[in-house]
């Protein structure tokens, strides 16, 4: 047998087929073999994680990158460092808020150059605003954007304008023709209060927005993913989409699953969330929508990291999600499905988000039993909390890196 570059063993390797003791053989940055834990697999380097789990690296969809007033390249470097600390090996960068917004080929080039030094894999969403034309979408797709995103209100402000119904239908029709996914911030601008924070962003804004999205998708046939989805009372609308032939799914974030509004202190960064954190009852219902045995419409969980709005969540999202999931007797297989395999499947990234032969060797060691204390002064919504599950080390294309 030819020698592998490296072999990683764990008694809890999480693959699409389930968890178990396995050995993962890596060559030229890709997974070349997945065998039994004790299999003879000669390699130049070997790592035995014991009972520490081995997960596929997370695929974070819609990650906000650009921090106001900061050089774009440094923003990407900062996101890369936070991603590694959070067990994310693939970032799908949000088109906006960002300077420049990724709604033209020239802007995409600027982001691609700035991201060149990022520690993790980076792909890009193309932004769709009121002024976007057919040529812009075609050019962005030709240049390799992974999917597109838009907003029905202020989700992309100040750098991406909201779509009205006519523009939404037009964009969906164009993307349906090329089988591209559209991510939609679905809060309806007409239902937002003044100021549009807290109670000024009621669940009915999501409901009205979802009704608009469903109507447009039903006419245009586009694959549509709502993100972020927070109002659990709207889950029935999502679930009903399939019955009328509409491919409509959704993504939520760990902070919506972990932090009810009643628990927030006045100074919490979580007040920056758009939509806002909702009640404990809503949080429980949101979990039900995520694990619905009849087939969940909420299929992915992303960090919701958005520095432009003061929301820093990327580093803690995996631990926060696992903390809440294990209380519900859910497993790491569920977490991987929501944060790695599901996002990769959604965006057509077959080499990402799974441990299997042929996949990129982007891997994360995760000590699920180890407590992690979030510093009191941390800028995340989890500041001062104790979470479960420690990340590290991480492998990018088979190369071991340690989160800074």
The Cα 26–Cα 361 span in angstroms is 7
Q: Look up tokens 């395999």; give the residue.
A: 341
Neighbouring residues of 15: CB distance < 8 A, sequence distance ≥ 6: 22, 34, 354, 355, 356
Give bridge partners of residue 314 from the DSSP assignment.
none
- Each as own residue / partner, the long-range contacts of residues 42-46 (CB below 8 Å, 24 or more positions apart, any chain) are 42/1, 42/3, 42/4, 43/3, 43/4, 43/5, 43/6, 43/7, 44/3, 44/4, 44/5, 44/6, 45/5, 45/6, 45/7, 46/6, 46/7, 46/8, 46/9
**Going by DSSP bridges, is the β-strand pair 181-185/223-226 parallel, antiparallel, or unpaired?**
parallel
Alpha helices in 55-156 (DSSP H): 72-85, 105-114, 134-142
Closest CA to 183 of 135, 143, 139, 229: 229
CA-to-CA distance for 68 and 382, rounded, in angstroms? Answer: 22
Q: What is the pLDDT of residues 34-91, one digit of tens each?
A: 999 999 999 999 999 999 999 999 999 999 999 988 999 999 999 999 999 999 999 9
Tell me the torsion sign for CA atoms 288, 292, 297, 302.
positive
How does pLDDT run across 234-245, given as a tens digit for each residue? Answer: 999 998 898 888
Asked whether the bond before 195 is cis by omega within 30 degrees of 0, the reply is yes
CA dist 372 and 389 (Å) reads 7
66 three-class SS: coil
Cβ(366)–Cβ(391) under 8 Å? yes
Question: Are the C-beta atoms of residues 366 and 52 closer than 8 Å to each other?
Answer: yes
Q: How far apart are CA 375 and CA 111, in angstroms?
A: 31
| Closest among 197, 264, 278, 269 to 234, alpha carbons compared | 278
CA end-to-end distance (rounded Å), the chain: 36
Packing angle of the helix pair 203-220, 165-177 (nearest 10 deg): 50
User: Is 46 in contact with 7 (CB distance < 8 Å)?
Assistant: yes
CA distance 79 to 65: 6
Per-residue pLDDT of the chain (404 residues; tens, 9 = 90+): 579 999 999 999 999 999 999 999 999 999 999 999 999 999 999 999 999 999 999 999 999 999 988 999 999 999 999 999 999 999 999 999 999 999 999 999 999 999 998 999 999 999 999 888 888 999 999 999 999 999 999 999 889 999 999 999 999 999 999 999 999 999 999 999 998 988 899 999 999 999 999 999 999 989 999 999 999 999 999 988 988 889 999 999 999 999 989 988 888 888 889 999 999 999 999 999 999 888 888 999 999 999 999 999 999 999 999 999 999 999 999 999 999 999 999 999 999 999 999 999 999 999 999 999 999 999 999 999 999 999 989 999 999 997 76
SS3 41: coil
């Amino acid at each position: 047998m030819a020698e592998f570059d490296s072999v990683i063993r764990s008694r809890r390797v999480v693959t699409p087929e389930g968890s178990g003791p396995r050995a993962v053989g890596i060559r030229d940055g890709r997974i070349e073999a997945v065998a039994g834990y004790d299999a003879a697999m000669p390699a130049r380097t070997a790592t035995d994680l014991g009972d520490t789990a081995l997960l596929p690296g997370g695929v974070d969809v819609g990650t906000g990158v650009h921090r106001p007033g900061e050089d774009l390249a440094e923003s990407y470097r900062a996101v890369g460092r936070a991603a590694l600390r959070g067990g994310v090996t693939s970032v799908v960068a949000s088109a906006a808020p960002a300077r420049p917004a990724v709604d033209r080929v020239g802007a995409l080039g600027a982001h691609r150059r700035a991201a060149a030094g990022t520690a993790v894999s980076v792909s890009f969403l193309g932004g769709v605003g009121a002024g976007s034309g057919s040529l812009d979408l075609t050019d962005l797709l030709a240049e390799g954007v992974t999917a597109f995103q838009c907003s029905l209100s202020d989700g992309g402000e100040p750098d991406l304008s909201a779509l009205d119904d006519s523009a939404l239908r037009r964009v969906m029709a164009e993307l349906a023709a090329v089988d591209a996914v559209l991510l939609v911030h679905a809060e309806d601008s007409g239902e937002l209060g003044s100021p549009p924070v807290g109670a000024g962003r009621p669940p009915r804004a999501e409901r009205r927005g979802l009704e608009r999205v469903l109507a447009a998708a039903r006419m245009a046939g586009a694959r549509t993913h709502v993100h972020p989805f927070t109002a659990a009372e709207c889950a029935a609308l999502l679930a009903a989409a399939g019955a009328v032939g509409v491919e409509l799914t959704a993504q939520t974030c760990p902070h919506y699953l972990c932090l009810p509004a009643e628990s927030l202190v006045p100074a919490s960064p979580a007040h920056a969330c758009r939509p806002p954190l909702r009640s404990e009852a809503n949080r429980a219902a949101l979990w039900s929508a995520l694990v619905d045995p009849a087939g969940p419409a909420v299929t992915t969980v992303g960090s919701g990291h958005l520095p432009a709005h003061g929301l820093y969540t990327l580093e803690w999202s995996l631990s926060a999600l696992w903390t809440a999931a294990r209380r519900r007797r859910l497993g790491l297989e569920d977490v991987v499905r929501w944060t790695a395999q599901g996002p990769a499947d959604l965006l057509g990234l077959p080499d990402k988000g799974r441990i299997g032969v042929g996949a990129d060797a982007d891997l994360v060691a995760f000590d699920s039993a180890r407590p992690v204390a979030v510093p009191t002064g941390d800028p995340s919504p989890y500041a001062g909390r104790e979470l479960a599950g420690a990340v590290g080390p991480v492998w990018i294309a088979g190369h071991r890196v340690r989160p800074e």
